[in-house]
Amino acid sequence: MKTYEIRTHKSSEHLPPSEQLAVRLGDLAADTTRSLDEAAVDMVINRVIDNAAVAVASLGRAPVVAARGQAEAHPHSPGATVFGLEQSQRVSPEWAAWANGVAVRELDYHDTFLAADYSHPGDNIPPILAVAQHTGADGAALLRGILTGYQIQIDLVRAICLHEHKIDHVAHLGPSAAAGLGTLLGLPSATIFQAIGQALHTTTATRQSRKGEISTWKAHAPAFAGKMAIEAVDRALRGQTSPSPIYEGEDGVIAWLLSGPDARYQVPLPEKGEPLTSILDSYTKEHSAEYQAQAWIDLARRLGAERPELRDPANVQQIVLRTSHHTHYVIGSGANDPQKYDPTASRETLDHSIPYIVAVALQDGGWHHVDSYAPERAARPDTVELWQKITTVEDKEWTRRYHSLDLSEKAFGGRIEIELTNGERVVDEIAVADAHPQGARPFGRAEYVAKFRMLAQGILDETEIDRFLDVAERLPQLTADELSGLTVTPRTPVPVAPKGLF
């Protein structure tokens, strides 16, 4: 890896094109000399399975139904497949990416990478897969495109914090997806550069989509970024140019959306020919909730089993979660969102409320992607009483570990301090989720397959489950015709979408 410093340049300064971040990203994506890392290849397969698993589980949910309906209104040949429809039913690739992106993101249940900012790098897969199907690419090309998408999004997340400026994290996804498409299609660096600039320019938005009463747009935001990336590549292929320098310009992203003209960012990128392996630094979710809640669910379910009396709010005086800055201010009481303590809040809000999540995991001894968010579950009186007694506090040591570049000490959990009404004090802590690579039960291929089978139960026939897994596990060897098999068709028809404009 090599680190590049980027900063704002006045219009009167000369910034050689080769020193622009978007050009460096384009060069990375266009590099055809890279060898493949075996573990990274294996992880791409795992994440394709993981994405499909969570998409299957969300096929009947309203945002997914609506997005799929919009895609169905844009049939196209050759086009791309959509989760929930027959393989033969093709739509325009940007709309397939939109529908599949919403399906993947809806349950907040796929992979994550957290560093200077947040990300769900699996969001790169829907647009890259859609364009691969549309253009007749094979599995090897799809694999390389996905590796590029992961690499660039994760490297941007390592270096550039969007959250402190209340910019939604998909601003790193637009450029990464565009770059991944460039690799997939074998485009020259100059073309990828233009697409990256357009994708970034059109995918910056505020974090209000993840604040307060969180709406269904949370699932649409990354799908929109993927759709914009496809359209940006299409425009770049037609010779259209983009704002430049998009990051470093006097009126660019750093100057006005990030830390301003005096800011310096250190962006690590692999050198020419170096394998793309950042996908190995990301991690999936065992539980359907915000990633920073994963370790807390594991700790709470263990404590509830070991100490059943903790489940009764009558026995609990208060519960304090000492955790990182991001956890406290995004999903904890530091967000100052009353909705995080509201029993009538939306599912999207509850999965960003660590007080709620800890209360339910403690009482139930587990977590379910549907039942744990059911209105009747959220409104249960003993849960509400316990929930209101849980607060978070930022702890500087847990914040330091959250940002650590040393994977052996990087942590997304914290320390729980429970004061009982009898005066007893229960204290415990957890650094990472059980499913994390450094956790008690790291996910491997068997766990990804089991997650797919569990979420597909009752939705897909066993033959369809087996068929999809067979295709996915052969991803690097798939022919162009076989790529159409990277979708799923349920045993019963999916719900009909409500009528819109088209």
DSSP letters, 13-70, are S---GGGSHHHHHHHHHH---PPPPHHHHHHHHHHHHHHHHHHHHTTTSHHHHHHHHH
What is the pLDDT at residue 295? 97
For residue 140, name the pLDDT band (cuts at 50, 70, 90): very high
CB-based burial, 370-389: b 16+ in 10 Å, e otherwise: eebbeeebbebeebbebbeb
Structure tokens at 9: 């340049």
Three-state DSSP class for residue 319: strand
Greatest alpha-carbon pair distance for the chain in Å reads 72
CA 9 to centroid of chain Cα atoms: 32
How confident is the model over 366-375, as a mean pLDDT?
95
pLDDT at 169 over 90: yes
CA–CA–CA angle 319, 323, 329 (5° rounding)? 95
Answer for the pair 23, 262: CB distance below 8 angstroms, yes or no. no
What is the pLDDT at residue 179? 98
How confident is the model over 115-136, as a mean pLDDT?
97
Q: How far apart are CA 318 and CA 170, in angstroms?
A: 36
How confident is the model over 377-401, as a mean pLDDT?
97
Q: For the segment 270-291, what is each residue's pLDDT rounded down to a tens digit?
A: 999 999 999 999 999 999 999 9
What is the pLDDT at residue 215? 87
Identity of the amino acid at 231: E
What is the pLDDT at residue 439? 95
Q: For the segment 175-229, what is each residue's pLDDT rounded down to a tens digit?
A: 999 999 999 999 999 999 999 999 999 999 998 887 777 788 989 999 999 999 9
What is the pLDDT at residue 53? 98
Answer for the pair 44, 121: CB distance below 8 angstroms, yes or no. no
Structure tokens at 185: 């299609």
Q: How far apart are CA 285 and CA 50, in angstroms?
A: 9
Q: What is the DSSP letter of 288?
A: S
How confident is the model over 327-345, as a mean pLDDT?
95
What is the pLDDT at residue 385? 98
For the chain, the average pLDDT equals: 96
How confident is the model over 129-144, as a mean pLDDT?
98
Q: For the segment 379-389, what is each residue's pLDDT rounded down to a tens digit?
A: 999 999 999 99
ω into 78 cis (within 30 of 0): yes
What is the pLDDT at residue 214? 77
Structure tokens at 5: 């410093």
Sequence-separated (6 or more) residues with CB below 8 Å from residue 72: 82, 85, 89, 91, 497
What is the pLDDT at residue 142? 98
What do you get for the CA distance between the two ends of the chain, in Å?
47
Give the dihedral sign, CA 123/127/133/138.
Answer: negative
What is the pLDDT at residue 129? 98
Q: How far apart are CA 153 and CA 179, in angstroms?
A: 10
For residue 348, name the pLDDT band (cuts at 50, 70, 90): confident
How confident is the model over 385-409, as a mean pLDDT?
94
331-338 own/partner pairs: CB under 8 Å, 24+ apart = 331/290, 331/292, 331/293, 331/357, 332/391, 332/392, 333/391, 333/392, 334/392, 334/394, 335/211, 337/211, 337/212
The H or E element that residue 330 is part of is: helix 325-330
**Residues pairing with 417 in the sheet:** 320, 427
pLDDT at 65 over 80: yes
